[in-house]
Homo-oligomer: A and B are copies of this chain.
Amino acid sequence: MTIHDLVEQHSATLQDAIRANSTREFFAHWPEPPSGKIYGETANADGEAAFKKQLNTSFEGLLQRGATAQVGEEESPWGFSLGVTYRFTPVQTLIEQATNAQRSWQELTARERAAVLIEALERASKRFFEIGYATMHTTGQGFVMAFQSSGPHGFDRALESVALGVTAQETFASNVQWSKPMGKSAVTISKHYRMIPKGVNLVIGCTTFPVWNTTPGMFAGLVTGNSVIVKPHPKAVLPIAIVVAELQHVLQTVGLDPHVVQLAVDSSQKPLTTELLEHPAVRIVDYTGGPTFGAVVQSVAQQTGKIAFTETAGVNCVILDSADNLDAILDNLAFSLCLYSGQMCTAPQNIFIPKQGMMVGGSPVAAAEVKARLIERIDALVNNEKAGPGLLGTIQNPATLSRVDEARALGLPQLRDSGSVVHAGFDGARSASPLVLEATSNQSDIYEREWFGPIAFVIETETFVDAVDRAARSARMHGALSTLVYTTNDGNATLAEEAMVAAGAPIAFNFDSFVWVNQSAAFSDFHGTGANPAGTASFADLQFLTSRFNVVGVRKQAVA
């Protein structure tokens, strides 16, 4: 297998992805249903078996050298320790290996790199079920969501970055005979434009989406010729370790240095993050995680001239104004509140409703009734024995449970209390159904904080305009990764759109079916705008790629 073979083999996939990025039409290279009909009848059982076989053993899939110890501390939120250990590689070794490996990697064309990366994604996709179980038991997501987020959806985000990287690097010709007319003759210069990567690209992962939030930066860094060091959160290593391992094997198979991508596993006791972040060879940093360390990332990057793409936290708002079918929209909203128990950076938190209530099908419905029916719809999902537990999943971090207690202790009126969720077969699962509190509009000191987890506030406002003002102000000051507005009034829709767009926040209207505000689709929805305090990254706009490389010109006087 040569790189040339891979370029041929994956050219249609690349072209499809390039086209989808441009048209923004629906495109998914990997089907999202975790179905035996698609992935093979034994795929689920095989994946689960592979995951179980890995438990309580050392992860041996990586090809990288220089390890000096074993570390591992993953705990399933479903109630057991994974017991997986990983090789620990010191920072200086990681950096040296990354720097060496980058030399030949950056000499490839963008399409050659893309082909190698797509091959790795294809190979790793054979392990979607194993990755799904690894994700379920690190993040606490229900299996279907875990499969989708770390499998097809996360991989489509990777492919999106790869395709956009090719587009960005092919915007300019790489060679030209430049011929300037000079009266009757001409002077000719042979020009060559060389794309050079900025340097080592550090990608710092999070616990809740260890693949989905890592692949965009990781593959953006790689396709533009940088070496990448993936620094997963020590509590969520296994899903991305499998992806890195498959990529290292493909690199070696085509004769490249597998250290083009490395895994920097560390421990809570001895974290590597700051040392990596501050290393002068690291020129690009992708970070997903809490805003406190996000501020450190930004600050170090700013002081040292590094490029930093962050996605930290936002306070996402919903505004209820009017609808044709109240149950349909409340079902959609309730689903968004329940999905993975609010542990998505895009999950709604603050639900504004004008005090005079909503107009539904032309008739007024009192605010109290809207609230009551919203809680009914949440209850219906939580109490759905078949679908509820998988939808809610478990709680990744014990601190999130504490935050539910903290919210409860605020003393606000409870529209719905949080409770534990029965997960059959997982007696030790950590769970919490949504807590819904009522706040008054002047309690912005409470509701304009991010309450990460299954915590929502319903807030009555004077008017729709008042709600829009509050949502826009909140997005501007505290960031937002989503906004959801229900209105059948065109004037109100325009007003909300203008206000939120001006605040740099994305906005969605009237979702009432099988699309939810907390999901963003690769190749079509930009995840994050980079235009508000929720972060500087947008998966994947042009900046996300073009900031990772420079163009250096080489000019040669052509021989007459």
Contact = CB atoms under 8 A, between A and B. Distances in A.
A200 interface: no
Contacts of A181: 26
Interface in A171-227: 171-173, 176, 178-182, 187, 189, 191, 193-194, 196, 198
B515 A176 contact: no
Contacts of A508: 554-557
**This chain: how many copies in the complex?**
2
A523 to B, nearest CB: 9
Contact of A552 (B506, B509, B521): B506
A554 B187 contact: no
Interface string A501-522: 1101111111111110000010
A302 B193 CA distance: 29
Interface residues of A, number: 66
Can you list the 5 inter-chain pairs with the closest CB atoms, starting with the nearest? A302-B302, A531-B550, A542-B546, A508-B555, A510-B557
A23 interface: yes
Contacts of A302: 302-303, 305
Interface string A294-326: 000010001101000000000000000000000
B506 A553 contact: yes
Contact of A24 (B168, B193, B531): B193
A509 B556 contact: yes
A84 B168 CA distance: 45
A172 B21 contact: yes
Contacts of A554: 497, 501, 506-509
Task: With a 10 A CB-CB cut-off, give which of A25, A303, A526, A552 has the most chain B CB atoms.
Answer: A552
Given A180-B515, A182-B514, A196-B531, A551 B541 contact: yes
Interface in A537-555: 538, 541-543, 546-547, 550-555
B504 A530 contact: no
A57 interface: no
A152 B69 CA distance: 63
A267 to B, nearest CB: 32
Contacts of A303: 302
Nearest to A192: B497
Contacts of A550: 504, 529-531, 538, 541
Contacts of A21: 171-172
A305 B294 CA distance: 14
A158 to B, nearest CB: 18
Given A24-B173, A172-B22, A196 B501 contact: yes
A535 B187 CA distance: 30
Interface string A452-464: 0000000000000
9 contacts: A26-B180, A187-B513, A507-B555, A509-B557, A510-B557, A513-B557, A529-B553, A541-B550, A542-B542
B178 A521 contact: yes
A531 B554 CA distance: 14
Given A23-B173, A182-B514, A541-B546, 15 more contacts: A21-B171, A24-B176, A180-B515, A180-B521, A189-B515, A196-B502, A493-B556, A500-B552, A501-B554, A506-B554, A507-B552, A509-B555, A509-B556, A511-B555, A529-B550
A553 B530 contact: no
Given A514-B187, A557-B512, A557-B515, A24 B552 contact: no
Contact of A553 (B22, B173, B305, B526): B526
A529 B509 contact: no
Given A191-B525, A510-B557, A515-B180, A501 B171 contact: no
Nearest to A502: B196
A524 interface: yes
A554 B554 CA distance: 43
Contacts of A198: 531
Contacts of A502: 196
A552 B504 contact: yes
B178 A26 contact: yes
A273 interface: no
A85 interface: no
Contacts of A148: none
Task: With a 10 A CB-CB cut-off, give which of A502, A553, A556 has the most chain B CB atoms.
Answer: A553
Contacts of A509: 554-557
A161 interface: no
A197 to B, nearest CB: 10
A305 B299 CA distance: 10
Given A176-B24, A557-B510, A557-B515, A552 B525 contact: no
A433 interface: no
A341 interface: no
A70 to B, nearest CB: 36
Nearest to A164: B171
Contacts of A25: 176, 178-179
A260 to B, nearest CB: 17
A556 B510 contact: yes
A167 interface: yes
A49 B303 CA distance: 51
